[in-house]
Structure 1
Amino acid sequence: MITPRRSDNAPDDPGPALDSGDGARGLDVRDLVVRYRARTALDIPRLSFRPGITALTGSNGSGKTTLLKVCALLLRPAAGSVSLGNRGPDPDKRANLRRHREAIGYLPQAPDFPGHFTVHEAVTYAAWLRSVPRARRAETVRRVIDDLNLTEVTEARLRSLSGGNRQRAHIAQAVVHEPAVLLLDEPTTGIDVEHRMELRTYLARLGRTRCVVLSTHHTEDIELLADRVVSLREGRIVFDGTPAELTARADGGTDDGARSVERALNALSSGGNSRQDADGGAR
């Protein structure tokens, strides 16, 4: 078992991790602008995420990954702010940043973690980094590994795993500290059908009490999992509503479910029949 070190003076038990009961019930985005050189990558006047599952959709380059990175404080916007929901202003900016990071669990689209770590080591390391108290760290890691059906590969090295098992191990790293807000970039990519269904069941359970935002190209994720859909095109919100409201936009045809979702998303991506709520996408 590895013994990771943050610093020689790091405390063994830095205190409890923030969970969904600590008041951080979501995220509020206000007047957000992100630019890459002369191009505006995001322009979102107002957007709020609350407990439940929001599917973030849009074609490649629409701004999904950029928005998740800004919400995770990994990318600094040119203007605007992202703050924890249901919290009053805190004059201590450093405390605000710490609280925000503690409340967030983030899975990037292409996780980069050393492949020589075993599943157990990788999740334990994430728990330690995210300040899960030493007294309950082992039990927390075991529970997350069990919840994500990784028990049989717990001592396998990440580089030896199938793509699906490796993805679920990275998801375990993102959720091990029980974040109030979970940001997942294409979480079901590379996972076989059986494990994708298990993962959706797990995420649905988290979404009952936590704010889960996932970017996805899978129409089945929207049909079977999402409470809300936010669709981006060229960095702007072109739809914000329920899956039922989305499928109602699909013109013609008699197909239900994923096919209707696909038709509606194709129309939004192409610029046809687009709509943004009058309040700028707030919910």
Structure 2
Amino acid sequence: MVRRGSFSLRCRHWDESPGLTVVVGLNGAGKTTLLKTLAGIQRVTSGRVSGVGNAAFLPQSAQLSSRFRVDDLLTYLATLRGVPSAERDARVSAVVDQTGLSEHRTMRYSALSGGWQQRVLLAQCLLGDAGCVLLDEPTSSLDIAATRELWLVLAELSRSRPFVVSTHSASVALEFADRVVPIRDGVVHEPHDGAQLRADYAASELSPEAYLLDVLGR
């Protein structure tokens, strides 16, 4: 359990494995609190957090102000993360490729659009040895095209390590999630299988938003 003032978040069990876990819930349900707890930023009031390992956390409000080129910025951040000097160039090249930044690596970060800047922020999460990546509303400020492109990247990256992503977007949650974890009134509920949700949604004749609200109400 986690308590913050009058708010409490209850999570009986959390089991993580490679794949894309999408956390959904209304405003104030506890999505950010859950991710901060998994990242070790938010202390638990009772119980313990285990099984997440070394996690990289990207908050919703994450911003960088830099005139560095993308590759120079990532090299600098790799240094801060303790990546040995002999491995930095290879590590930076790897995360640049993984996040689709190859054609933008020599551009200044400040000259990139919001969608490409978000990819840089995602890339820096991959520089270290994080066993799990936690992203809080990573596409909240992006347009439709940039949102879909970033989720395609997340779906590919999550094949090799666990990604836990919170979102308000019903359509991307239903399309990309391997598991959907609903949070309602401060309670983290059991995950729903993404493939089964997609099958049920296709037969429901509801909009993505109406269907996800139904899932949250179960």
- Normalised by the shorter chain, which TM-score bucket? 0.7 to 0.9
1:231 aligned partner: 182
2:172 aligned partner: 221
- Structure with greater helix percent: 2
Q: Distance in 2 between matches of 1:119 and 1:231?
A: 36
Q: Identity rate of aligned residues, in percent?
A: 37
2:5 aligned partner: 37
Change (3 A) 1:148 1:192: farther
Structure 1 portions without partners, runs of 5+: 1-32, 86-99, 275-283
2:28 aligned partner, one-letter code: G
Relative to the length of structure 2, the TM-score reads 0.86
Shift of 1:229: 0.5
Q: Distance in 2 between matches of 1:151 and 1:114?
A: 21
2:74 aligned partner: 123
SS at match of 2:134: strand
Q: Distance in 2 between matches of 1:116 and 1:230?
A: 38
- 2:171 paired with 1:262: no
Shift of 1:221: 2.3
Structure 2 portions without partners, runs of 5+: none
Listed one character per residue, the Cα deviations across residues 138-157 of structure 1 (whole Å, up to 9, x for unaligned) are 12112222332323433444
Q: Distance in 2 between matches of 1:203 and 1:247?
A: 18
- Report if the CA contact (8 A) 1:44-1:236 is conserved: yes
- Report if the CA contact (8 A) 1:238-1:268 is conserved: no
Relative to the length of structure 1, the TM-score reads 0.68
- 2:111 paired with 1:143: no
- Report if the CA contact (8 A) 2:12-2:188 is conserved: no
What is the Cα-based RMSD across aligned positions, in Å?
A: 2.6
1:69 to 36, 39, 51: 36
- 2:114 paired with 1:167: no
Q: Distance in 2 between matches of 1:46 and 1:158?
A: 39
1:38 aligned partner, one-letter code: S
Q: Distance in 1 between matches of 2:74 and 2:143?
A: 22
Higher relative contact order (CA 8 A, sep 6+): 2
1:10 aligned partner: none
- Report if the CA contact (8 A) 1:247-1:264 is conserved: no
Shift of 1:67: 0.7
Q: Distance in 1 between matches of 2:129 and 2:149?
A: 19
Q: Distance in 1 between matches of 2:211 and 2:66?
A: 40
Q: Which structure is larger by alpha-carbon Rg, 1 or 2?
A: 1
- Report if the CA contact (8 A) 1:148-1:202 is conserved: yes
Q: What is the number of equivalent residue pairs in this alignment?
A: 218
1:79 to 42, 46, 57: 46
1:73 aligned partner, one-letter code: G
- Report if the CA contact (8 A) 1:104-1:181 is conserved: yes
